[in-house]
Amino acid sequence: MDKIAVKPDTIIGPVPVAMVSCGSNDKEYNIITIAWTGIINSEPPMTYISVRKSRYSHSIIDREREFVINLFGEGLLKAADWCGMKSGRDVNKFKEMNLTASPAAIVRCPLIKEAPVNVECVVSAVLNYPSHDMFVADIVKVNADSGIINDKGNIDISRAGLVAFNNGAYYGLTKNSIAAFGFSL
């Protein structure tokens, strides 16, 4: 098949789409929906989120140095999209989307109770880029709904029905695993 050159774009993916919760008191709790996140280290487990500098959550995360990555299923997609389109400067996203701010185990910001996976993170570095800042963070706790844990004690993403993002569209991740890591050997 012939290749066609296209302009540089953020096409690598799909990537997880997450509702990131932040803030240390209920008057300031906020949710920002982002797709610029991933794993950057295994031991210790580390992640990142990239947040546009103009976003309300940016200043909260920069000040508080912690956040929660809330991975969600298709049932929360409308809330996630809405939270990505509205500013926490103007609305209380938890209230407007009927989401529950639950206490986290380690960080001061809340978990989104309705999300099946909550990843508590503490910022260890901030890398500045032209449009976004990357908040590099240690993963200090992972919380998961009991119904998505398989018999090996691992999170089964097909049970969680998680959502991914690529090139301006959301995709459901509901298919069972097609192979285990290392299957080719």
The string of pLDDT tens digits covering residues 63-107 is: 999 999 999 999 999 999 999 999 999 999 999 999 999 999 999
Neighbours of 11 (CB within 10 A): 8
- pLDDT exceeds cutoff 70 at 141: yes
- pLDDT exceeds cutoff 80 at 11: no
164 vs 171: CA distance, rounded Å: 5
Confidence at residue 161, expressed as pLDDT on a 0 to 100 scale: 86
Task: Retrieve residue 115's tokens.
Answer: 């999300």
Q: Average pLDDT, stretch 109-138?
A: 97
170 vs 185: CA distance, rounded Å: 33
Confidence at residue 178, expressed as pLDDT on a 0 to 100 scale: 66
Identify the weakest region by mean pLDDT among 22-26, 69-73, 119-123, 128-132: 22-26
What tens digit of pLDDT does each residue of 156-177 get? 888 888 998 988 889 887 766 6
Identify the weakest region by mean pLDDT among 50-54, 132-136, 137-141, 166-170: 166-170
Burial state string for 92-111 with b = 16 or more CB within 10 A and e = fewer than 16 = bbbeebebebeebeebebbb
83 vs 108: CA distance, rounded Å: 20
- pLDDT exceeds cutoff 80 at 39: yes
By the 8 A CB rule, do 21 and 31 touch? yes
Kindly indicate the confidence band of residue 45, based on its pLDDT and cuts at 50, 70 and 90: very high
CA distances (Å), 180 to each of 38, 46, 147, 185, in order?
20, 23, 21, 11
Percent of the chain surpassing pLDDT 70: 97
Task: Retrieve residue 160's tokens.
Answer: 């969680």
Q: Average pLDDT, stretch 7-23?
A: 87
pTM of the full predicted structure? 0.92
* All structural domains of the chain with their residue ranges: 16-172
Selected from 2.60.40.10, 3.30.300.30, 2.30.110.10, 3.40.50.300, the CATH number assigned to the domain covering 16-172 reads 2.30.110.10
Confidence at residue 176, expressed as pLDDT on a 0 to 100 scale: 66
134 vs 17: CA distance, rounded Å: 16
Confidence at residue 22, expressed as pLDDT on a 0 to 100 scale: 98
